[in-house]
Structure 1
Amino acid sequence: MNTRYIFLLFLLLGFISCNEEDNILPEPVVLPELTSGSADFSNYVALGASFTAGFTDGALFKAAQENSFPNILSQQFANAGGGNFNQPLMNDNFGGLALGGNRIQGPRLVFGGAGPVSLESIIGPVTVTTDIALNNPTGPFSNLGVPGAKSFHLLGNGYGNIANLPSAANPYAVRLTGSTPNASLLELAMAQSPTFFTLSEIGGNDVLGYATSGGDGSNPITDTATFNFAFTTLVTTLTSGGAKGVVTNVPYITDLPHFTTVPFNPLSPTNPSFGPLIPTLNGVFGQLNQVFAFLGVPERSIVFSSTAASPVVIKDETLVNLSAQITAVLNGSPTFPAFVQSFGLPAAAAPLVANLFGNIYGQTRQATSEDLFVLPSSSIIGTVNTTTLAFLQSQGLPANLAGQFSVEGVTNPLADKWVLLPSEQMEIKNATDAYNATIENVATANPNVVLADLNSVLTQLASTGINFDNYTLNADLVTGGAVSLDGIHLTPRGYALMANEFLKALDSEFGSNFVASGNTAKAKDYQTNFSPLLQ
């Protein structure tokens, strides 16, 4: 009996010992104390464009500004001697701008269940209360981000003068200039004697305007010489008093979902508005395809599939214009009058129809996977182009027939403004590479400046995604978490990721330790979507 009790005693002691070991907690991780290194954050000024301002979901509004990357940075800088950071906050969370009571910029986008929609389509009409003629805030402002500003705009006197609207001023800049309407944004920054600065997305709008307009020529790319002068002047001036700063390079903007979301082949045979028309459409284009073959350009043939999604029809201005040749071939065809009669038109209308075919399809082809489509094209494809409709009716076509030949991306080729052709994409890349070479050279040559490589960040977001704390962010529209509903600007969580990239860069150059000490933005603190009820 005694032997048994002794065995149980040892067994009990063993269990107690194991439980005590299991309850031992790991040693807490002790982070180093934060140091600012050689940087002085007491007077931080941010100069830039829409990302700097905090533009999100197609608009600027209070909650978005509060999540701008400069404001996120200022919260970390406050732990290292940073001072007050003043932003030109909007009056509401609707977004949009007014001028003397008249709306000049619309409210923000929201998620409508299937994709981005206007705020007012969900909650009804709203009054835009931020009026640049009536209630501008009082500066000076630490955040000098101006949505839409190009590199040279930051140097331009009068860019914030309301008298220069709309051609030579920016309404967001008007809100910043106060009693000095002709002061440049750079002058507003220097008047504050900054000790630290960020200079971000300079060059982004210099190519973005061209890209969002489909490269149609209405918003040309800034030439390299102009950009080089502007960027060099900005950095030289900002560092002239000894201030240190972080600059960014220009991302490849065609990686953004604004250009990657709309497929080149959205025409599904299962669509009841399109599928039943495929045989008729192929019959009509069959006539044109014979002409293309005769002219030696069979690659321009237009054929819609009854079993798979088909590409849209686009105008490609890089193609040789065959309008005159198409018209001549059709007029010389003995079978073309009968074809015209199949539409209910008299045979005598054949020359008219031949001329219309030539004018409409002289530079057309179906899209390929190499073409990119701007996000707004998704609401255009398949609709009737009223301008084309009116023109065809003016040429004598009946309304129903004119309507059939006015369907965007099907019978009416999509205009240049909706499509970025491969050649236009290359123009954007070449300009971006040239800008980035200048940015890197200027940053390397100036000991007070360090480069944050946002180009690599966007490339990674668009390819593999980025792990941010316990979240995986990518560049997909709506679901990716990094890019907002306009397909270009970031979400609050995306701006937090961007802020951390700035912190990594300045740690590497100026001896601070924001990252090592844990003084960084945390993903969980920043949302990816704003409620329609936010006002």
Structure 2
Amino acid sequence: MKNKFIYLAIIAAGFASCEPEFENTVDANYTAGDADFTTYVAVGNSLTAGYMDGTVSRVGQTYSFPNLLAQQFALVGGGAFTQPSYAEDVNNLGGIQGLTGTRLVINASVGGVQPIAGTPTITLTPQATAYNNMGVPGAKSFHLTFPGYGALNPYFTRHATSPTATVLGDAMSKVPTFFTNWIGANDVLAYATSGGAQADGVTPAADHNSTGNMNPATYGMNDITNSNVFASVYSTIVTTLTSGGAKGVVATVPSVTSIPYFTTVKYNAISDAAIASNPQASLLVQLYGFLSVATNGRITPLNLTDGVNNALLINDSDLTSLSAQITAYANASGNPLLVSNANALGAIYGKSRLATAEDLVVLTASGILLPPNNVNASLPAPFNLNGITAPLANKWVLTANEKAKVANATAAYNAAIVSIANANDIAVADMNAIMNQLVTGLRIETGQLYTANYFSGSATEGVVLFSLDGVHPNARGYAVIANEVIKVINEFYNANLPLHNPSYFPGINIVSSN
């Protein structure tokens, strides 16, 4: 595929006054305005690196939003834009040898999402080169200033200029005249995608919410970054980027509720038919009847005749444990099955409840909710059906309480981003607002409506901006992001840069066979 897209804007006569101006090499009158794009540098995480479909691939990287921006900057004096080399990704599989898998595709022959067949050819051979695109997948805010971060992150290992290099230091070695900075998503996203909590059984219950911890060196991978730590580090990043007089754009952190990773699997994903078809359906109904009494209604009886999907059974680490009460009720029930499993029932259902619409089930939970993968091998039948009689572990669900922690952290980060940007007189692209619009539908300049309705068949697959990992945009999505940044640049820096046409970019990756 081409790495650069040059489009002619086709202006319909009746809409000439309100159509967007797409790139036009014939008679365009473009200008950089108050900005200088001679040396453009982008810092950030996977959203900056061009990560999509679960990896960085050779072709996928060409659709990174900074690369798309650089194409438009070149029209007004922007210089060369370099990205970490993925030339060794000869078959466009992505992944890293021995560390990560290949990119995700839809296998049309089976109708499912799979890693594309093959072995990654990308290695950790050091490139020791600073690039214009310094987006590092997995990076949190404080990682950008961490000396020797390459020892912790294989993506930075590949191109760190030295064993003690920092991402920000390598970026500054390019002496930027203009920059974009989109960092912060991983400071809260890793907490959310892990379900907001450690595995069940951890004592004391730890939910990785480090809002009171000012020392990021002690954070685990999934910890929420303290908002004061974030603000301090973010200020350092922006102060450094602007130290040579560079102008730029910073982007806010998106809310997790707007991405398909948290909106695809519904809280009530189990149909009446799925339960009724189980050979032990009557036993499951009896079990729920018992649990309704033993949990004081925390778990309500099954109704397989109302035609309404059943809420998933989940574990909630914030609940008061009813283990002893459930065990006592089981021992007193007189039911041989319940009596013989009394202690196990207390252990299994002590902190269980039915999910509500306020809970978010992570995308990867879809793999354990359908036969034959819906059986929890660690539990005895009939208490081993995931989401039905086997409560989903904390890692599969972001509860309403955990979701509030994510929202509070995101709001604090974004307040800091806006405040620091204003203090340094640089522009802000409010990606949080843009992503949130996807919940109800984001209509772009062409009139096309894009949604977060992930994989609802052929009717929507062409208008989804996310890749198959449910977190990162696809090529079309990165074009929309680039356009949002361009609109901010045009307004804030009095520039006149053309937009990309997102409909001309690839959407979901579909292969006929795998």
**Normalized against structure 2, the TM-score is what?**
0.84
Secondary structure class of the residue paired with 2:427: strand
Q: Using the alignment, how far apart are the partners of 1:497 and 1:386 within structure 2?
A: 37
Deviation per CA, 1:261-285, whole angstroms, max 9, x where unpaired? Answer: 1011121122377455432211122
Q: Which structure 1 segments of 5+ residues have no match?
A: 1-24, 162-168, 344-348, 393-401
The Cα offsets for residues 304-325 of structure 1, whole Å up to 9 and x where unpaired, read as 4234221111111221101112
1:129 aligns with 2:121: yes
What residue is the counterpart of 1:35 in the other structure? 31
1:485 to 2:468 alignment: yes
Work out the CA distance in 2 between the residues paired with 1:156 and 1:362: 42
1:204 alignment partner, one of 177, 185, 192: 185
| Structure 1 residues 203-226: Cα deviation after superposition (integer angstroms, max 9, x where no partner) | 101111001000013612111111
What pairs with 1:341-360 in structure 2 (closer than 5 Å)?
A: 343=337, 350=339, 352-360=340-348
Q: Is the 8 A contact 1:317 1:363 kept in 2?
A: yes
Aligned partners of 2:94 and 2:120 also within 8 Å = yes
Match of 1:189 among 171, 189, 214: 171
TM-score w.r.t. structure 1 length?
0.81
Q: Secondary structure at the match of 2:159?
A: helix
User: Aligned residues: percent identity?
Assistant: 41
1:171 paired to 2:163: no
Q: 1:44·1:197 contact (CA, 8 Å) conserved in 2?
A: yes
1:419 counterpart = 2:387: no
Looking at secondary structure, tell me which structure has more helix per residue: 1
The aligned residue for residue 47 of structure 2 is: 51
Q: Deviations over 1:355-413 (max 9, x none)?
A: 111111111111111111000101112568899644x5xxxxxxxxx132111111110
Q: Provide the residue aligned with 1:147 in structure 2.
A: 137
The match for 1:65 among 61, 67, 72 is 61
What 5-or-longer segments of structure 2 have no aligned partner?
A: 1-12, 18-25, 198-206, 209-221, 456-460
Moved more, 307-316 or 424-433: 307-316
RMSD over aligned Cα, in angstroms?
A: 2.5
Q: Offset at 1:34?
A: 1.1
Assess, with a 3 A threshold, how the Cα gap between structure 1 residues 287 and 461 changes in structure 2: closer, same or farther: closer
Residues 1:28 and 1:463: Cα distance change in structure 2 (over 3 Å): closer
2:121 corresponds to which letter in structure 1? T
Q: 1:26 to 1:209 in 2, by over 3 A?
A: closer
1:436 and 2:414 matched: yes
- Which has the larger displacement, 471-480 or 226-235? 471-480
Give the corresponding residue for 1:258.
261
Residue 429 of structure 2 is aligned to residue 452 of structure 1: yes
C-alpha spacing 1:260/1:28, structure 2 compared with 1 (3 Å): closer
Contact 1:389-1:403 at 8 Å conserved across structures: no
Q: 1:530–1:285: structure 2 CA closer, same or farther, 3 Å change rule?
A: closer
> Which sits farther off after the overlay, 26-35 or 111-120?
26-35
CA distance in 1, matches of 2:33, 2:277: 64
Aligned residues: 461
| Aligned twin of 1:496 | 479
Contact 2:149 2:156 in 1 (8 A): yes
One-letter amino acid of the counterpart of residue 419, structure 1: V
CA distance in 1 between counterparts of 2:34 and 2:157 reads: 35
Counterpart residue identity of residue 108, structure 1: R
Q: Distance in 2 between matches of 1:197 and 1:79?
A: 17
Give the 5 Å matches for 1:52-451.
52-90=48-86, 91-92=88-89, 93-98=92-97, 103-113=98-108, 117-120=113-116, 124=117, 126-132=118-124, 135-137=125-127, 139-161=129-151, 169-178=152-161, 180-200=162-182, 202-216=183-197, 217=207, 219-271=222-274, 274=277, 277-292=280-295, 297-308=296-307, 309-331=309-331, 333=332, 336-337=333-334, 339-340=335-336, 343=337, 350=339, 352-382=340-370, 389-390=377-378, 392=379, 402-447=380-425, 449-451=426-428
Q: CA deviation at 1:421?
A: 0.6
Q: Mark the structure with the bigger radius of gyration.
A: 1
- The letter of the residue matching 1:322 is L
Question: Is the deviation greater in 277-286 or in 419-428?
Answer: 277-286
Q: Aligned with 1:503: secondary structure?
A: helix
CA contact (8 A) 2:315 2:393 kept: yes
